[in-house]
């Protein structure tokens, strides 16, 4: 008999999006839109399984790239991926195939959801013996009908805003539903219904192009330190990352670069703990060659114009099953952008290009001033290796 999962998450993502083409996999604040809510769901650790329902092979490939076997993709029938198909129809189709007790419908158009939201909502759901739950934010606004009839207050006794009893505005981030409720009422909300209150800014959803920039700025502000506990390899750029980006020429025309000893020590510490270190640069400089040889970097790629293709090949040559999600990449300029977008975790020095900062976690140190050592320390601490140094 198949095991019945207590709690599953369902993330619907269809390929067709008219207002914003390929919306679900379009990059926002450095990651595809779907990555934000999916990562929060994984980090919450409240789900037995997380599923993505899609009609798009491209979305399926993208999900697998970022999450591997942590997320299961289910190919959705084309009839359930039209503009007319309801979300409930997708949920019911899923319920007919997968055994579970409760389902959490997650909508990736609400990327500001956090792992703590899933944890607290599930605690509320269980503690209050609910049948279904929605997410919402407090709403303190005076409402009128189109016919100029007040809906939620008396204009002759207009309350102060701070004294106004708030309503709850459904924000659509996620819903929790018992399977029997979904199948009985054909609805995500029925029976004993509860609410999980979220932050006010989480009411912003991505439906139109003008929503994109607003949400990207909010995501950049709330960026937290990425999860580094499963990182197996650190990939490091040279100019502007291991160095300050300056080039010093001798009278003979030889290019010289300044390196920081503590960066080298950090990389050596990682390798001593079994975490691989790769250095990759677009330049081919004798001073860099000498530095890499001195500090004992085994994986050193120079003169590389297409860095991603080199990393792709390097991954294929590894004896263990390593993928991009196992890599932490640090770079500072546009030549690193593609690698930063593919890496499991992406970082940049404090003085990196503004576009790079949108696609990576910004460290407090500048390039050539300890940014790499800062990242090495973060990896060691995340993997509980720092105490044994």
Could you give the C-alpha distances from 69 to 25, 30, 51, 149, in angstroms and in order? Answer: 18, 22, 10, 54
Report the greatest alpha carbon distance in the chain: 86
Whether 14 is catalytic: no
pTM as predicted: 0.75
Q: Kindly report the backbone phi and psi dihedral angles of residue 221, in degrees, each rounded to the nearest multiple of 5, phi listed first.
A: -70, -35
> Active-site residue among 75, 141, 158, 161?
158
Neighbour-count burial of 238, counting CB atoms closer than 10 A to its CB (0-12 exposed, 13-18 middle, 19+ buried)? buried
CA distance 220 to 117: 19
**Can you give the pLDDT at residue 389?**
43
Alpha-carbon distance 181 to 88, whole Å? 12
Q: How far is CA 146 from CA 142, 143, 167, 169, in A?
A: 13, 10, 19, 19
Q: How far apart are CA 194 and CA 175, in angstroms?
A: 10
Of the two residues 252 and 54, the one the predictor is more confident about is 54
Cα dihedral 127, 128, 132, 137 sign: negative
315 by DSSP, 3-state: which? helix
Tens-place pLDDT, residues 91-103: 999 999 999 999 9
Tokens 């940014």 belong to 371
The model's pLDDT over 291-323, given as tens digits with 9 standing for 90+, comes to 999 999 999 999 999 999 999 999 999 877 889
Q: Which residues is 353 bridged to in the sheet?
A: none
Pairwise CA distance, residues 180 & 62, whole Å: 32
């Amino acid at each position: 008999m198949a095991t019945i999962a207590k709690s599953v998450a369902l993330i619907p993502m269809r390929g067709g999006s008219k207002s914003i083409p390929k919306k679900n996999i379009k990059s926002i604040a450095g990651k595809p839109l779907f990555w934000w809510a999916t990562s929060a769901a994984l980090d919450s650790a409240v789900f037995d399984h997380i599923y993505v329902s899609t009609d798009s092979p491209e979305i399926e490939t993208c999900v697998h790239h970022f999450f591997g076997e942590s997320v299961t993709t289910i190919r959705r029938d084309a009839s359930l991926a039209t503009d007319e198909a309801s979300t409930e129809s997708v949920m019911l189709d899923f319920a007919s195939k997968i055994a579970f007790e409760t389902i959490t419908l997650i909508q990736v158009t609400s990327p500001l959801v956090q792992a703590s939201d899933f944890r607290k909502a599930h605690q509320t759901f269980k503690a209050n013996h609910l049948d279904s739950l929605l997410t919402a934010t407090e709403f303190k606004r005076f409402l009128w009908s189109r016919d100029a009839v007040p809906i939620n207050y008396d204009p002759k006794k207009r309350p102060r805003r701070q004294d106004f009893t708030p309503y709850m505005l459904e924000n659509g981030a996620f819903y929790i539903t018992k399977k029997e409720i979904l199948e009985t009422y054909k609805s995500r909300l029925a029976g004993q219904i509860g609410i999980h209150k979220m932050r006010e800014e989480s009411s912003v959803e991505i439906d139109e192009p003008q929503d994109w920039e607003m949400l990207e700025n909010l995501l950049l502000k709330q960026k937290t330190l990425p999860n580094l506990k499963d990182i197996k390899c650190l990939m490091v750029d040279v100019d502007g990352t291991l160095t300050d980006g300056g080039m010093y020429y001798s009278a003979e025309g030889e290019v010289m670069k300044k390196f920081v000893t503590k960066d080298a020590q950090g990389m050596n510490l990682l390798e001593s703990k079994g975490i691989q270190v790769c250095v990759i640069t677009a330049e081919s400089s004798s001073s860099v060659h000498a530095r890499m040889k001195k500090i004992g970097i085994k994986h050193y790629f120079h003169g590389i114009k297409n860095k991603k293709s080199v990393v792709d090949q390097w991954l294929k040559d590894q004896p263990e099953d390593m993928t991009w999600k196992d890599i932490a990449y640090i770079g500072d300029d546009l030549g690193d952008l593609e690698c930063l977008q593919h890496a499991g975790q992406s970082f940049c020095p404090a003085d990196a290009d503004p576009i790079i900062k949108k696609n990576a976690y910004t460290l407090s140190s500048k390039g050539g001033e300890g940014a790499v050592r800062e990242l090495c320390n973060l990896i060691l601490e995340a993997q509980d290796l720092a105490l044994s140094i």
